[in-house]
Amino acid sequence: MEIIERTLSEPCEGVLVEPEGGSAVGVLVLAGSSGRIDTDRCRVLARAGMTALSIRWFGGERQPEGICEIPLETFVEAIDFLKARGSGRVGVLGLSKGAEAALLVAVRDPRVNAVVALSPTSVVWANVGPGTDGVAYPYRSSWTWKGEPVPFVPYDEHWTPQGPEGAPIACRTLYEQSWQAFAEAAQKAAIPIERSAAEIVLIAGGDDQMWPSLVFAQELAARRAPAGQHPARLVTSSDAGHRPRLPGEGPAGRSGQFRYGGTAETDAALGARAWSDIIAVLSGDLHSGG
C-alpha cells in the first residue's frame, strides 16, 4: 500500500503518515520515556490502512524537559487534529509512559474509541525528569488535567538498583517497591479505565524489567471486567520484555543504561501475537459479531 508522510509543526512537532487517499481511522501514536516521534510505528499502521499521527509531547520547544506535569490536553489537541482531518474513529496507541497517557486520555475524552496499551501501568506515577521549571524533585505528577495535577504514586527513595556496578539497571523493583510502600497513594492514583467507553487492548510481557507491566495489565483488565462494557482484551507472553515490536518494525534500539527484559525474538513474537487484535480494535472490529 502506498503511504504519504508529512512532517508537522502543528499541533506540535510530529509526523503524519497515511495511506494514499486517506482513512476514516485515525491513530495517535505515543512513544514512551524516550520522547521520540515514532515514525516507524506510524508507517506500519499506515500500511495497514490507517492515518497515524505521532507527536513529541515532551522535550520539545516550549515543553517540559522531562515527563513532569504534562498537560493531558496536549493529546486532546492531537485528537482534535485527527478529527479535523476526517477521522471518524480515533484510537490511541501508546507504549509504557505513552500507554499511561493513552489510558488517561481515554477516560477524559469520549471521542477516543480505542486504546492499545503496550507495557502499560495501572496507576499514575511521579515525574520522570524535570518540568518546565527545570526541577525534577520533589516529586510531582507526570500529568495535569485542566491545570490540576493528576494523583500519582511517588518513588521509594530507599530503593537501590540491584546487580553489578555499571551494568544496565532493571527498574522493575523500584516500581514494585514504591507501589507497596505507597499503597494509599496507589489507590488514589489508579487509572479508572472502567469510566471509559473506549475498547481496550492491553499487551504485556512477563519478563518486563522496566516495570511489572503484566501485573499492571492484569489489574487493569480486572478493573474493567465488572464495568458493564466490553472487557479489555489482554495479550501476554511470559518471556517478552518491555518493548513489544509490531510486524514490520525492526528490533528496538539497544540501551546501555537500562534492562528491558525479553529478547528481540520474544518481543517480536508478542507483537505478532497481538497484531490481529490491534488492527481489530483500532478499526472497530474487535467485538463485531458479539
Which helix or strand (DSSP H or E) is residue 95 part of? strand 89-95
Task: State the pLDDT at residue 224.
Answer: 87
Amino acid type, 259: R
- The number of angstroms, rounded, from the C-alpha of 78 to the middle of its chain's C-alpha atoms is 15
**What angle in degrees, to the nearest 10, is found between the helix axes of 73-84 and 97-108?**
70
Instruction: Please tell me whether the peptide bond between 212 and the residue prior to it is cis, using omega within 30 degrees of 0.
Output: no
Kindly list the domain boundaries of the chain, sorted by start residue. 3-283
Where are the alpha helices (H) located in the chain, listed in sequence order? 39-47, 73-84, 97-108, 172-181, 183-188, 213-224, 264-283
Q: Select the CATH number that applies to the domain covering 3-283 from these four: 3.40.50.1820, 3.40.50.1000, 3.90.1150.10, 3.90.220.20.
A: 3.40.50.1820
The three cell numbers of residue 208 are 518486563
Question: Residue 177: exposed, middle, or buried by beta-carbon count in 10 A (0-12, 13-18, 19+)?
Answer: middle
DSSP 3-state of 171? coil
The three cell numbers of residue 220 are 487493569
Phi, psi torsion values for 123, nearest 5 degrees: -135, 160
| Spatial separation of the C-alpha atoms in residues 256 and 55, rounded to whole Å | 25
| Spatial separation of the C-alpha atoms in residues 208 and 259, rounded to whole Å | 9
Nearest to 267 by CA among 234, 236, 289, 231: 236
Full pLDDT tens readout for the chain, 290 residues: 799 999 999 878 999 999 999 999 999 999 999 888 999 999 999 999 999 999 999 999 889 999 999 999 999 999 999 999 999 999 999 999 999 999 999 999 999 999 999 999 999 999 999 999 999 999 999 999 999 999 999 999 999 988 788 889 999 999 999 999 999 999 999 999 999 999 999 999 999 999 999 999 999 999 988 767 789 999 999 999 999 999 999 888 777 789 999 999 999 999 999 999 999 999 998 876 44
Beta bridge partners of 45: none
pTM of the model: 0.96
